[in-house]
Amino acid sequence: MKLINGFDLMDYAKERGLILPAFNTTNMELTYGIVKGLSEAGLPGYVQISSNNLRLSNPYIIADLVRDATKNCDVPIGLHLDHGKSFKDVKECVDAGFTSIMVDMSALPFEENMIESKKAADYCHLYHVPVEVELGALKGKEDDIVSDDNAKTNPSQVPIFVEGTGCDTLAVAVGNVHGLDLKPHIDIPLLEEIRKVSKVPLVLHGGSGIPKEVIWECKKHNLVKINYGSDLRRAFIGVFGRAYEANHDEFDVIHLSLEAVDAVAEKAKELVTMINER
């Protein structure tokens, strides 16, 4: 199946009452594993990659990998830029064929965040590509970036920010965290407040570690997308780690890579099924 446009993917999920998982990739094995897991589950979602991880490849290589992985796939899958850190990255990803974009200028002051996010959104909308923005800050480790910030999204800023950026979805900070070292504590009343004043659907980053019952509750508050990275990376790395511990002379890269694809697929299938089982 051809990669699906992000607007169409969200419409597909809304019509069926589904939450869309967005699984972070870095390389070929993770990419094929994510697509395999979604296919086996028969449920839609995103393959996504952050600006930080594009250092290992480039948007065109990732887009080609995802197109190849999905060519025989029967479920709708989008390709998303996660934490786009510059207009250059946003533009290159749209030009490469990404079907959904996140621009993350959350480290900037509010007004600058809004201005830079709108610039990216305007470019994406020329090509009918939806844009996610972030308001607030998550504590924890995202790729190799460590943050001690824990600034929850301020509901009073949400209408101004959504209007000012022209965004299509809003990533919020409501006690969710990046990585596996910290425990998330989702503030459902705050999420409800945000939902009441947001004209666009909401996104949760840092899905790893959030109990399914909490995710189901978040779904009631216009949650359309939830991100997962750490769970899949642990499944991928674990294959090679166990092989090395068992035999320090292990060199069968192809066998281990295929095993890693299956491990990632199993985890992706488990997660997409879990968040949508009720």
**In contact, 33 and 238? CB cutoff 8 Å:** no
> Cα(201)–Cα(178) distance, rounded to whole angstroms?
21
Burial 104-126 (b: 16+ CB within 10 A, else e): bbbeeeeeebbebbbbbbebbee
Pairing assessment for the beta strands 20-24 and 45-50 based on DSSP bridges: parallel
Answer yes or no: 187 catalytic: no
Compute the C-alpha angle 32/176/144, nearest 5°. Answer: 55
Question: Which position among 8, 82, 143, 187 bears the catalytic label?
Answer: 82
**In contact, 90 and 123? CB cutoff 8 Å:** yes
Positions marked catalytic: 82
